[in-house]
Chain A
Amino acid sequence: MARTAPQADDTDASGDVAVSRLARLMRPFVGVAVPAFAAVAALLVGAVMLLAFGANPLVAYGELVTGAFGSADNLADTAVRAMPLALVGVGICIAFRTDVINIGGEGQIILGAIAATVTSMAFDDVPRVLLVPMVIVAGAIGGGFWGAIPGALKAYAGVNEILSTIMMNLVAFHFLSFLLQDLLIEPGAIKIQQTRRLSPNADLPLLPGGTRLHIGVLIAILVAVLGYLLLFRSALGMRLRAVGHNQDASQYAGMAVKKSVTQALAFSGACCGIAGAVLVFGSESHRLIGEGGAAAFTQNAGFNGIVAALFGALHPIFTVPASFLFGGMLTGGSDMQRAIQVPAALVVALNGVVVVFVVGSLRLRDRLRTWVGEVSSYGGRA
């Protein structure tokens, strides 16, 4: 990385102090500002696509913003949409900080949802105060199991986790489809791949206020806090981050590298599995539904959670507001699509553009961060 501070030293000192003051002000926002600008740039590309479809981008994006943040109900919908993103995002923080790329969020969500669904079916009559925590824990176990497999394969057999997690997604997708056509299918339903209405005792309780907002939002925040404590306030997290930072040095220092890699993907999968449980029991239908491909039920959260985590600079706490903003884009996107009558696929395409732009902007962010760090420390010395 090119150092810019020495060049700054050459210019006149009074200007430098002003610049460094500005840099200090910018410091807390750099991490978020650059990806946010990237997202705006992606929306500009989306505007071109909208124009091509004969829609007015200003009207369309107006619909998007109102749809996302325009009313209490819309805000609640955005929060509901953001929950799985935040949960997956926290899992991504854990994996990426250990230098393990988890692209298996989709499959881990599906396995979490299956485990939670089976649990609720087996314990139909358990009182709500017990059954809700039970399905959440079951989701964590299901997802954690599905994450631990590629984790162990990477640690002990050297299998590239990017490939194995993608394959695990495909397996999970077909497995869900099998279950919904066979063991878990609603009696009487033939064409629709869905379970029966699951036990009301497992419904995630709604929060007061008369919106669709349910307790999942508290679960997501709790998991984010736990993720933060795990990563930054525990010996285990210290080990994970050390392995992520330098595997060889960690090995040399006597840390259990292989165990850490497996654990990181298992924790990551557990967070995604909780997202799966929340998606099922916080849904309006209270069923596990498979129609229209995996994306219909997982809402692509396994991929989008990665973006949310990158928005949140791989910090579990910051991932929560990042997910809310990103969730707003997705709910608003659906409203926009309905209002201006373009196919829902537009939102998926736009989603892809946002991923590419945000990931592509991270180098700029790092450069800006380095520059801000150097310039503001220069001002401190002057």
Chain B
Amino acid sequence: MSDFFTVSVLVATLASGIRLATPFLLSALGETIGQRAGVLNLGVEGVMLIGAYAAYITALRTGSVVAGVMAAMAAGAAMGVVYAFITVVMHATQGISGIGIFLFGLGFTDLLFRQQVGTPVPIDGLRGLDMGGLSDLPVVGELFFQHSALTYVAFALVPVVWFAMNRTTFGLNVRAVGETPEAADTLGVRVNVVRTQAIIIGNVMAGLAGGTLALDVGIFQQNLTSGQGFIAVALVYFGAWRSSGVMAGALLFGVVSSTVLQLKTLGIIVGANSTIAAMAPAILTIVVLVLVSRRIGAPSALTVPFERDN
């Protein structure tokens, strides 16, 4: 265990924690916007898988990481349109239709992967940015200035989402349709249009989160996300529907994941015990939910479809 508590290992663990937090952060921020508008999307896991595959196959075929990122976002947008249709137009129960999206994403990406790729081919994934002197700083450089561009994008989105939710008309509309859609409707806000927009934005971010994951590890495999999308949904509750809280949660889960990985690499936990360690994020999520669930309420109209009474 003493191997773990050295400066270089701790710094490496924290740095990779920030890196691993990126997909959590992107997908959870997107989910936050959707939930603020009153729509629970449990299909994040499936959308992340689809985004991951889109990024992987595009980067593999074109050799361009940027094209991969664009493909992941486009795939997310497409799934957003589908999910908006299912929930906003058809009023499907949101929890269960999300599971359907998850199963679809799980099967569909596996299917495409086997058909189009077969044996895994690694791709040139994301590279850390080189910021010259900043990146070379001891400790601080490794912690903050050697990440990939998408990590910086994800963290930059935290204040952006806060601003959009709290200081723009769009954000006001989103919160209004999530809290009291009837009142918003009375004031001329087109409830279902705003919800559709929020869903599509959220899904684009989920797709990007999946793309980040695939480009980060440089490979695609069946069930690449292994539950991260579900944890992202829980992070929204953890963060009490605020972007700063969501960021704290994403960092916590990133660091827990990187710690487990590091302990495995160092041989501190071995063999079957590593599957016990793999439970840590899920158990942590449950504990966190117990701690936060009394603290603050969800948007009042979360999971409630809107229909105008004529």
Contacts and interface: CB of A to CB of B under 8 A. Distances in A.
A300 B233 CA distance: 21
Interface residues of A, number: 48
B286 to A, nearest CB: 5
Contacts of A163: 230, 233-234, 237, 285, 289
Contacts of B290: 153, 157, 159
A303 interface: yes
A2 B275 CA distance: 53
A357 to B, nearest CB: 8
21 contacts: A162-B95, A166-B233, A167-B286, A168-B282, A171-B283, A174-B275, A174-B276, A177-B278, A293-B222, A303-B103, A345-B107, A345-B110, A345-B114, A349-B108, A352-B105, A352-B107, A352-B108, A356-B100, A359-B93, A359-B96, A361-B90
Nearest to A366: B91
B253 interface: no
Which label, helix, strand, loop or mixed, suits the secondary structure of the A interface?
Answer: helix
B139 to A, nearest CB: 33
A352 B102 contact: yes
A235 to B, nearest CB: 29
Interface in B94-126: 95-97, 99-108, 110-111, 114-115
Contacts of A354: 100
Contacts of A174: 275-276, 278-279, 282
Contacts, number: 159
B310 interface: yes
Contact of B93 (A158, A343, A348, A362): A362
B92 A158 contact: no
B42 A352 contact: no
Contact of B107 (A159, A170, A347): A347
Contacts of A359: 86, 92-93, 96-97, 100
A118 to B, nearest CB: 17
B86 A170 contact: no
Contacts of A353: 100, 104
B91 A159 contact: no
A356 B237 contact: no
B272 interface: yes
A178 B289 contact: no
A53 B286 contact: no
A202 interface: no
B234 A167 contact: yes
B35 to A, nearest CB: 11
Given A163-B285, A353-B104, A345 B111 contact: yes
Output the residue of A101, A103, A160, A300 with the most chain B CB within 10 A: A160
Contact of B91 (A170, A352, A363): A363
A349 B222 CA distance: 13
B223 A345 contact: no
Given A103-B99, A352-B100, A175 B279 contact: yes
Sort chain B's interface into a size bin: 35 or more
B61 interface: no
Interface in B225-240: 227, 230-231, 233-234, 237
Nearest to B87: A360
Interface of B: 40, 42, 46, 86, 90-93, 95-97, 99-108, 110-111, 114-115, 222-223, 227, 230-231, 233-234, 237, 271-273, 275-276, 278-279, 281-283, 285-286, 289-290, 293-294, 298, 310
A168 B283 CA distance: 8
B105 A166 contact: no
A182 B276 CA distance: 11
B294 A157 contact: yes
B42 A349 contact: no
B86 A167 contact: no
Contacts of B230: 163, 166-167, 170
Contacts of B293: 157-160
A181 interface: yes
Tell which of A157, A158, A356, A362 has the most Cβ of chain B within 10 Å: A356
B279 A349 contact: no
A346 interface: yes
A349 B90 contact: no
A336 to B, nearest CB: 13
Given A158-B294, A293-B223, A342 B111 contact: yes
A171 B105 CA distance: 22
A355 B103 contact: yes
A195 interface: no
A162 B237 CA distance: 12
A364 B89 CA distance: 11
A114 B198 CA distance: 42
A163 B279 CA distance: 15
Contact of B282 (A171, A300, A342, A355): A171
